Amino acid sequence: MRTLGKLIVALVVFFVVLQVVRPSIPAKPATAEVQVPPEVRQLLEKDSYSCHSDQRRLSWFDEIVPGYWLVRHDILTAREHLNFFTLGSAPAAMQKATLYEAVNMIQLGAMPLPKFVRLHPEAKVTPDELGTLKAYLAPWTPAPNPMPSAQPGSGGKIDALAPASLAMVQPELNGFPFDPSFESWKPISTTDRGDNHTFRFILGNDVAVKAAQTGKISPWPDGARFAKIAWQQEPGPDGLVHPGKFVQVELMLKNARDYKDTEGWGWGRWRGADLKPYGKDAHFVNECTGCHQPLRGIDYVYTIPITTAKVRGDEVVNNAGAALPASLPYQPLGWNAITMYVDPKTHTTAALYGNDAAMHAVHARGAGRTEGPAYPAGAVLALVTWAQRDDPHWFGARIPDRPQAVEFVQVAGGGQQGSYQRFAGVGLTADQGAAAAQRTNFVLGLAPAWLP
């Protein structure tokens, strides 16, 4: 018993000594606090400021070592990723983008940290509070200062811009290499981003496409590559919204061994027509892995592939978007993508696909980029139109839902316009209509979305 008593005393003394070993958690006034309405700021103060500001607000039990060490680490890490006391110094667009990411972290259950909420239940974000944040962000409102590009609906073509030399693009700052073959990859999905007024094509290499088609995506196989290509949205005189100025391309490569420190994926982003590597140094990759962390249960991939494969789990694949009947004369979802657009009046999105003959014309680089390609005889174009639905993985984005129509244009030789076929309605049955010539001209006149 005397030995046990000495052990207890020693443990108590050791515990008391530990309380002295407490590195500080800096606290300072806001230098550039994010500017939001009072009701939004009240929510941020309640749910986020304890970790994501320069305030020091700890509960009494947070002060006890060794728990204090863990709390300090979490707070300093959270501040590095997002600090509402300094966010106000960033451009307005970046401030909103940061708030959108925060909302997505909340609705996906990643923030506040579940372990934090268990000890601090007052930090839990209620559905009403989340609704207030979403109402403030208000996606789908017109861009306040749209960036100028070329003629509306031109796909962002710019006369003076020479094609980039893809072979000369520099690796990312973490050494992740650029892959110039991404332009030939097949589409896996499209996204209409109302939060930053961009369109995105998500392409996959052969490994990724095969995995999506077979449903073997949990996890994605080594060698799978994704390209997420973004353009600014550009309203056209036809009432549609087209891809405008090229923004960036993001690449991901799955290799569980080589990229074990970054969730099994290699990450890279190249911005602008000159495809400049993103970030200030190699630590930019922490931004990628942090953003994708809420999707760790589906191998960190936000995209919901359009596929007929059946995969267990909710919102892992998009079967509705792939619901094209086998009776169609072609299956265009296996072709390459040319461009896309959105009709804001009908809440539909459409993507234009082309067979190999059509893509030879699209891929011609250099002169004539400001005009639609001259498709050769034998080229077939397919315009697939879907209803839109909210992307369950990203607030402020919309993705394809069930197809509304599929239109085919087959180009003839000898200056002939070619044939037109339309399939629409329930089951996508033949529905030629009386506007075949008009629709043929429309499809042929859609300019490809510009790539550097």
Q: What is the largest CA-CA distance in the chain?
A: 105
Q: Closest Cα to residue 130, out of 107, 101, 114? A: 107
Q: Closest Cα to residue 133, out of 396, 392, 389, 344? A: 396
Q: Closest Cα to residue 396, out of 195, 230, 226, 247? A: 195
Confidence of residue 434 (pLDDT cuts 50, 70, 90): low
Helix (H) or strand (E) holding 419: strand 419-424
pLDDT of 29: 83
pLDDT of 319: 97
pLDDT of 21: 67
Supply the pTM of this predicted model: 0.86
Tell me: pLDDT of 417 over 80: no
Mean pLDDT of 251-272: 97
Structural contact between residues 243 and 255, judged by C-beta atoms closer than 8 angstroms: no
Sign of CA dihedral 386, 392, 394, 396: positive
Task: Measure the CA–CA gap between 3 and 9, rounded to whole angstroms.
Answer: 10
pLDDT of 20: 66
- Residues β-bridged to residue 100: none
Confidence of residue 217 (pLDDT cuts 50, 70, 90): very high
Helices 92-107, 127-137: crossing angle, 10 deg rounding: 150
Q: Where are the beta strands (DSSP E) in 22-85?
A: none
Tell me: pLDDT of 63 over 50: yes
Say if residue 406 is exposed, middle or buried (CB neighbours under 10 Å; 0-12, 13-18, 19+): buried
pLDDT of 59: 79
Helices 67-81, 285-292: crossing angle, 10 deg rounding: 110
pLDDT of 366: 43
Task: Measure the CA–CA gap between 114 and 326, rounded to whole angstroms.
Answer: 46
In the block, tokens 């879907």 appear at: 386
Say if residue 228 is exposed, middle or buried (CB neighbours under 10 Å; 0-12, 13-18, 19+): buried
CB atoms within 10 A of CB 136: 15
Query: Do β-strands 380-390 and 348-354 pair in parallel, antiparallel, or remain unpaired?
Result: antiparallel
Percent of the chain with pLDDT over 90: 53
pLDDT of 14: 64
Q: Where are the beta strands (DSSP E) in 152-194?
A: 186-193
Mean pLDDT for all residues in the chain:
86
User: pLDDT tens digits, residue range 123-142?
Assistant: 788 889 889 988 988 888 77
Tell me: pLDDT of 164 over 70: no
Q: Closest Cα to residue 85, out of 30, 40, 43? A: 30
Tell me: pLDDT of 157 over 50: no
Confidence of residue 154 (pLDDT cuts 50, 70, 90): very low
Structural contact between residues 380 and 331, judged by C-beta atoms closer than 8 angstroms: no
| C-alpha triplet 388, 394, 396: angle, nearest 5° | 65
Structure tokens at 10: 């020693």
Task: Measure the CA–CA gap between 407 and 381, rounded to whole angstroms.
Answer: 8
Radius of gyration of the chain (CA): 26
Task: Measure the CA–CA gap between 450 and 437, rounded to whole angstroms.
Answer: 26
Structural contact between residues 102 and 96, judged by C-beta atoms closer than 8 angstroms: no
Q: Closest Cα to residue 407, out of 440, 378, 434? A: 440
